Structures are given as C-alpha cells and as structure tokens.
Amino acid sequence: MTSILMHTCCAPCSLSCIDPLRAEGIEPVAFWYNPNIHPWKEYEARRDCLLAYAPTIEMQVIVDEDYGLRTFVEHVASDIDHRCTYCYQHRLEETARYAAEHGYETFTSTLLASLYQDHDGIKAAAEKYARQYGVEFLYRDFRPNFRAGNQRARELGFYMQKYCGCVFSEQDRYQKQIDRDKKKFAEQA
C-alpha cells in the first residue's frame, strides 16, 4: 500500500476520505496542522478527537502543533472576506513542505470532503505548493461522501464542530442569532 500525507482538518471530515483512499490502495497518514482553528478549546477538541479515533483504525497521525491565533489574525485582518485563501494556502503549503522533507511523494487534504469549501481554491493552492516543493498533489472530490461521513461521525460520538474553524467563520455561522439578539435588545432599550 502506498502512503499519502493527508492534511486533516478534523476527524469527521476524515471519515469521507479514509475509506475511498484505502479502497485505491492508498494508506493515509493524517497530518494535523490547523493554526486557523480558534478559540483554543475548539482547536483542542478537534485535535483530540482525531487523536482518539486514529488508533481505532490503525491510522498514523502526525501533529504539527501550532495554535496560531495571532499569526492567523495578522494575515487576514486587512481582508477578512478573503481569509479562506490565506487559510488554504498556509495549511497546504505546510503540508507540501512536510511531505517533501519527510519522504512523502504525495499529499491530499480532508478539506476536499466539505460541501462548504472552495474546491477550486484548495486545488489551486495545493497544486502551487506541490510544484514548489516537488511533491504530487492528489485531488479527489470527497464531497459525495460528506453526509455519510458526518452521519458515521455522529454514530461514533465524535466532536462535531459548528463552524469551519476561524473566529470569523464562527461569527458567520451564528450571524442570524447575533442579529436576532441585537434586534431584541434594541427593542428593550
């Protein structure tokens, strides 16, 4: 079986990727590098869920520990609406770099499982860094497995996040509630 370094954003998304890769004779090695996830408790919950699950399916996990709140915010603060571009590029560059430095010929990402991510943006960033670091990027559209993977994650009792990862995506996730509360308290004033 051929190994592949698989950037892994969370255990639930990994469920959409692992079995299809293994069915192709490719063994994923999970690579945790997610300095975009905030706050710390969210970061910790996602990381620890992956670390608890991986041994149950005999999947290796490599953790590049970097809770990067300050650096992430410094890079996206001037253009919050386009923060995802930086987020994809930063995480996929680190994955490609790690792959090249540690003998992996190929890498991929669980970001490709989400129905909510920009696949063209992910693919463009990954291909750019694949060329730069001399490794191959394996593109697979794992989205058809997304709903089944999430259902399986619930059955397994995984921690299920409510937003993509950064504090700005958390605000986006809860914006309707924020607006309702703002209106409610304005009416009371």
Tell whether 164 is in a known binding site: no
Tell whether 10 is in a known binding site: yes
Q: What is the mean pLDDT of the chain?
A: 94
Q: How far apart are CA 43 and CA 41, in angstroms?
A: 5
Note the pLDDT tens digit of each residue in 79-97: 999 999 999 999 999 999 9
- For residue 6, the number of C-alpha atoms closer than 13 Å in the C-beta half-sphere is 34
Strand, coil or helix: 3: strand
This prediction has a pTM of 0.92
Tell whether 13 is in a known binding site: no
Pinpoint the alpha helices (H) of 54-118.
Answer: 69-76, 83-101
Q: How far apart are CA 91 and CA 8, in angstroms?
A: 10
| Mean pLDDT across 60-87 | 94
| Mean pLDDT across 149-177 | 89
Whether 39 has a pLDDT exceeding 80, the answer reads: yes
Whether 1 has a pLDDT exceeding 80, the answer reads: no
Give the pLDDT band (50/70/90) at residue 163: confident
Query: What local confidence, expressed as pLDDT, does residue 184 receive?
Result: 83
Whether 187 has a pLDDT exceeding 90, the answer reads: no
Long-range contacts of 120-127 (CB under 8 A, 24+ apart): 121/84, 121/85, 121/88, 122/88, 122/92, 125/85, 125/88, 125/89, 125/92, 125/93, 126/88, 126/92, 126/95, 126/96
> Cα(first)–Cα(last) distance of the chain, in Å?
65
Note the pLDDT tens digit of each residue in 96-139: 999 999 999 999 999 999 999 999 999 999 999 999 999 999 99
Tell whether 84 is in a known binding site: yes
Query: What local confidence, expressed as pLDDT, does residue 106 receive?
Result: 98
What is the set of domains in the chain, with CATH numbers? 2-188 (3.40.50.620)
Contact 35, 137 (CB under 8 A): no
Q: Determine which of 57-71, 123-137, 170-184 has the lowest per-residue pLDDT on average.
A: 170-184
